[in-house]
Amino acid sequence: MTESGKVATVSLEGKTASLPVLSGVLGPDVLDIRKIAADLGVFTFDPGYGETASCESKITFIDGGKGVLLHRGYPISQLAEQATFMEVAHLLLNGELPTRAQNDAFVATIKSHTLLHEQIRNFFNGFRRDAHPMAILCGTVGALSAFYHEGTDISNATSRNLSAMRLIAKLPTIAAWAYKYTQGEAFVYPRNDLNYAENFLSMMFAHPSEPYVVNPVLARAMDRILILHADHEQNASTSTVRLAGSTGANPFACIAAGIAALWGPAHGGANEAVLKMLAEIGSKDNIPDFIAKVKDKNSGVRLMGFGHRVYKNFDPRAKIMQATCHEVLGELGIKDDPLLDLAVELEKIAIHDEYFVKRSLYPNVDFYSGIILKAMGIPTSMFTVLFAVARTVGWISQWKEMIEEPGQRIGRPRQLYTGSPQRDFPSFDQRG
């Protein structure tokens, strides 16, 4: 961040404030309003922080209008097509892609932390069998600080790095065990002979009674899903992690806070909403009637998985996910699943319909990821859990960046108060 040399002058009731204009490497300039309250006696009002830069970051850049998503400067398409999830994790955490030796060391470190403390097994027995896997994930991750004390000293760089490695390594284990628990199946331990995506699939679907062979096409698809969800700039859950972290809370608690924020249907549940929509449509014969309702503003019917709040043109992740989707469906030879057939037909109609093309309502990453995950046999209750596994890398990278920033301060948003003015306490007899 640098001062551009430009200054915006704002006047209010005879007072004047000079607001420096700051420039980043990419993206629009921002006004530095830190002294506006002192100079003018006012705060700014921006519900949802949609027009406010809450921090300075070097990790991810998004230009929604142009459909650009960069991690440390690298386009997401190149990373998803050429890198592994472990390479992307190293990139987000450390700022650069690893050399071969660095990558080997990084992968080995992650593998050394995939096991959970054996007492953590007891946590799962405390949940009902019908508990949502996100509830299990959130509770168990928040409790990790009770087992890994040496990783909670946030003032120590070694401690911060240790916690980062543990979180990235243990999230797939906790997530898979949450699924196994709800199914009443035996927990499957991590295997160090498998890569990150393969290991997750093994812990999800293997059984102690027989060997499990990972399908390489499905493993690569899972790796791409993880890459495409690894970080997405200052979204709701990432901002939650940063806000919690600004208080000095330990990293396990901060990531649990991020998981809780991600759980909301307006954030992490979008791909689950896609499958719910497809189930409501029912069959390909009902698509024309459904499309007509979508076009009718008074119907209240929404086309889930199309368009994006951030990307006004196209979601750069969607094209990669689209190709991956068709690879997975082809590999599995799925031809008789009504829901997946319906999704493919809806995709064909929507990408050619003038109404959707004009409004840039193209299928987004959530549309395709929901189809892929269902085809792979992952239940909808696990969709957001898988999102959390991927996003943990981004969350912990953003957390580390914030903690290591000189002059870092606790987050303290202001408000526009619209309640009652000051008044005196009345007795019971005076209370109308």
Residue tagged active-site, from 130, 366, 424, 429 = 366
Dist. CA 368–CA 314, nearest whole Å: 14
Alpha-carbon distances of 6 from 2, 29, 31, 246, 388, rounded to whole Å: 11, 10, 10, 30, 41
Q: What are the structure tokens assigned to 349, written together?
A: 């109609």
Q: What are the structure tokens assigned to 173, written together?
A: 């284990």
Concatenated DSSP letters of 161-204: HHHHHHHHHHHHHHHHHHHHHHHTPPP----TTS-HHHHHHHHH
336 among known catalytic residues: no
Q: Tell me if 165 sits within 8 A of 114, measured CB to CB.
A: no
Dist. CA 404–CA 406, nearest whole Å: 6
Alpha-carbon distances of 374 from 225, 228, 325, 343, 367, rounded to whole Å: 13, 17, 11, 11, 11
Residues facing residue 60 across a β-bridge = 71
Dist. CA 374–CA 378, nearest whole Å: 5
Sign of CA dihedral 262, 263, 264, 270: positive
Q: What are the structure tokens assigned to 378, written together?
A: 């992952």
Within 8 A by CB and 6+ apart from 265, the residues are 272, 273
Residue tagged active-site, from 113, 308, 315, 326 = 308
| Amino acid identity, position 336 | D
326 among known catalytic residues: no
Dist. CA 290–CA 310, nearest whole Å: 25
Q: What are the structure tokens assigned to 79, written together?
A: 């990373």
Dist. CA 196–CA 15, nearest whole Å: 58
Q: Could you tell me if residue 246 is left (phi over 0), alpha (psi between -120 and 50 degrees) or otherwise beta? A: alpha
Residues recognised as catalytic: 308, 366
